[in-house]
Structure 1
Amino acid sequence: MAMTLRLPDDLQEALKETAEREGRSMQAVAIEAVRVYTTERTRRRDETIARLVRDHRETLSRLA
């Protein structure tokens, strides 16, 4: 799916510098950043839910 991404000037410059330094396109760097961000958020969410279930197992059992 195509989309337009408008970045503030400082982020645009940081993206450009990173892409040049890594010899990659700005698009490739942005795609990787979104992939890492979404994967990390999902992992942290799953860990938080698992910890809550583990720590509050008795309470959850009584509520069931």
Structure 2
Amino acid sequence: MAMTLRLTDEEAEALRQAAEDEHRSMQDVARQAIREYTARREVSFAEAVDFVVRRDAELIERLGR
């Protein structure tokens, strides 16, 4: 899927510099950043669910009866 990403001048320059430093394309660096961000969000959500389940285990058990 194609999309247009609008960046500020500062964001574009930071992305360009990161790509240059890593000898990669700006697109590749941006796509990796998106993959890492979405993976962290998935882990954060799973950790939050685990925390609530542990914290409220007794309540969840009672509600299940």
Q: If the length of structure 2 is used for normalisation, what is the TM-score?
A: 0.93
Q: Which 5+ residue runs of structure 2 have no aligned equivalent?
A: none
Superposed structure 1 runs of 4+ greater than 6 Å apart: none
Aligned twin of 2:63: 63
**Paired-residue identity, %:** 48
Q: If the length of structure 1 is used for normalisation, what is the TM-score?
A: 0.95
Which deviations, in whole Å up to 9, do the C-alpha atoms of 1:7-63 show, x marking residues without a partner? 111110000000000000000000000000000011011011011101111111222
**Number of residue pairs matched?**
64
Superposition RMSD in Å? 0.7
Say which SS state the counterpart of residue 46 (structure 2) adopts.
Answer: helix
Q: Which 5+ residue runs of structure 1 have no aligned equivalent?
A: none
